Structure 1
Amino acid sequence: MTSLANNRVLVIGGSSGIGLAVAESAIAADAFVTIASRSRPKLDEALKALGPKAQSAVLDTADENALEAFFSANDPFDHIVVSAAQTPTGPVRKLALADAQHAMESKFWGAYRVARFARLSERGSLTLISGFLSERPSAMSVLQGAINAALEGLARGLALELSPVRVNTVSPGLIDTPLWSKMDKDAKQAMFEKVAANLPAKTVGQPADIANAVLFLMATPFATGSNVRVDGGGAIA
């Protein structure tokens, strides 16, 4: 594995959850990190925890002009991670079409736009966060599975198109992130315990678990076109 010391890392969606954990791990590996999201207050709060080797940028992956301007104004990054997405869920016949289109727009097309405009060093890497529903569909989350599968297919194709830049995906299972903070505390705990009981790993994941996989892909020069599943065994349970 190669050192990440002094590498320039951009984490889109880096102000909370998995993205913030990736930023923390990259800084611990002595990289310089830029976190990006749409929310200036969330970015400012995250910077307090990240320290002097981090900076931030307000960036919306739905805004192609802003993305093009941002990358044009910055030197190439050594590694880019895309964790930002908003994906409403529900059965196909009940989820509003506008919500379904928004989910695809946010997670798939957001990553696609980043890939289109990103400037990366010659041996750099692009890592997209997908999800294990691409391999283990759920009757209640059909769209999410389809989006994740599309994202993983996009990454494999980009690994060829952008070579020698390396492109990979990390596929999480259920992760304890602020995404679940709106749930009643007891209801969330009951859900986590139920899921954990049915997983071979017997626990739900933490953001740091996904960050470990992302840093492995950043620091492994022979990894490209790969999908690393970190789901507690969810895809085989």
Structure 2
Amino acid sequence: MTQSQATNTASRPAGGRLAGQRVVVIGGTRGIGFAAAQAVAAEGGEVVVASRNPGHVARAVAALGPSASGHALDIGDRQAAAAFFAQVGPFDHLVTTAAQVLRKSLLEADLDEARASFEGKFWGQVHAARFGAPLIRPGGSIVLVSGISSRRGLGGMAFPSAINGAIEALSRSLAVSLAPIRVNTVSPGYIDTPGHGGAERSAVLKKVAAAIPAGRPGRPEEVAQAIVYLITNPFSTGTVLDIDGGHLAS
């Protein structure tokens, strides 16, 4: 937890906005997902994290504290997703941040890899909503995660653009069909996470910083703040909330 997070946590009323509530975070062991899990825990919520890597799950649960639990899960596997939610049982809010996307142009991409991207990010969120929604208690919500490539043409991002656009369309439809469960989407811009790793990471982030009004890439905890807002605001549903440092405006 950063110093600013600790200060904010200390200034909140005892118990927090999510005290007594149970939140499932898919992809909750690294990057945006882990930051979301931390933010939920800071608000007094019980956190259940899930991701593919058992080692990452164990480390996340240890860091989140005694109110946290975790499961190894490939959310792109429909049967595994159904079994996971059956084991978890009733809860209050669902956050899905797991993502594996292919950053290659249409003509360069391996189409099997492109299909796997859809399986992981789009169908993974479909599975989470399909099997999680029946277990969500009254007053609960679902927060999906897309990305600004859904509405901004970016080179080499044909498949993430299509996946993110599909997630946002899905979210708006589910806000109607699953009501009174609230369904929203957070759409991050360039966020400084391990997901932007590799030799080109520094160059990409520096280029983004120079091009957007915020003057820097985002941080996972800033996206997590938006996720908690959507969880706790009872009048927010069918919303796509951009956390992009002004990228779409520039």
Q: Same fold (TM over 0.5)?
A: yes
Q: Say what the alpha-carbon RMSD is for the aligned residues.
A: 1.3
Deviation at 1:65, TM superposition (A): 1.6
Partner secondary structure for residue 66 of structure 2: coil
Q: Does 2:38 align with 1:5?
A: no
Q: Partner of 2:249 in structure 1?
A: 236
1:121-164 deviations in Å (ceiling 9; x for gaps): 12111101100011112132111111101000000001111100
Q: What fraction of aligned residue pairs are identical, expressed as a percent?
A: 42
Deviation at 1:175, TM superposition (A): 0.5
Deviation at 1:45, TM superposition (A): 1.3
Partner secondary structure for residue 35 of structure 1: strand
Q: Distance in 1 between matches of 2:124 and 2:202?
A: 31
Q: Partner of 1:73 in structure 2?
A: 87
Partner amino acid for 1:143?
A: F
Q: Does 2:209 align with 1:202?
A: no
Matched-pair contact (CA < 8 Å) for 2:26–2:97 = yes
Q: Distance in 2 between matches of 1:89 and 1:189?
A: 16
Matched-pair contact (CA < 8 Å) for 2:102–2:157 = no
Q: How does 1:164-175 map to 2 (within 5 A)?
A: 164-175=180-191
Q: Distance in 2 between matches of 1:177 and 1:3?
A: 27
Q: Partner of 1:31 in structure 2?
A: 45
**Gap regions ≥5 residues in structure 2:** 1-15
Q: Partner of 1:141 in structure 2?
A: 157
Matched positions, count:
233
Q: Distance in 1 between matches of 2:70 and 2:86?
A: 16
Deviation at 1:75, TM superposition (A): 2.6
Partner secondary structure for residue 153 of structure 2: coil
Q: Distance in 2 between matches of 1:113 and 1:176?
A: 27
1:79-138 deviations in Å (ceiling 9; x for gaps): 110000111111101101101111111111111111111121121111011000111121
- Please, what TM-score do these two structures have when normalized by structure 2? 0.90
Q: Does 2:169 align with 1:153?
A: yes
Deviation at 1:10, TM superposition (A): 0.5
Q: Does 2:192 align with 1:176?
A: yes
Q: Distance in 1 between matches of 2:55 and 2:92?
A: 26
Partner amino acid for 1:136?
A: R
Partner secondary structure for residue 103 of structure 1: helix
Partner secondary structure for residue 205 of structure 1: coil
Q: Partner of 2:35 in structure 1?
A: 21
Q: Could you list the runs of 4 or more consecutive aligned residues of structure 1 that deviate by over 6 angstroms after TM superposition?
A: none
Deviation at 1:4, TM superposition (A): 1.1
1:173-224 deviations in Å (ceiling 9; x for gaps): 000111133x23xx53333222101101111000001000000000000000
**Gap regions ≥5 residues in structure 1:** none
Partner secondary structure for residue 235 of structure 1: helix
Q: Does 2:232 align with 1:216?
A: no
Q: Partner of 1:109 in structure 2?
A: 123
Q: Distance in 1 between matches of 2:121 and 2:196?
A: 18
- The match for 2:204 among 178, 191, 212 is 191
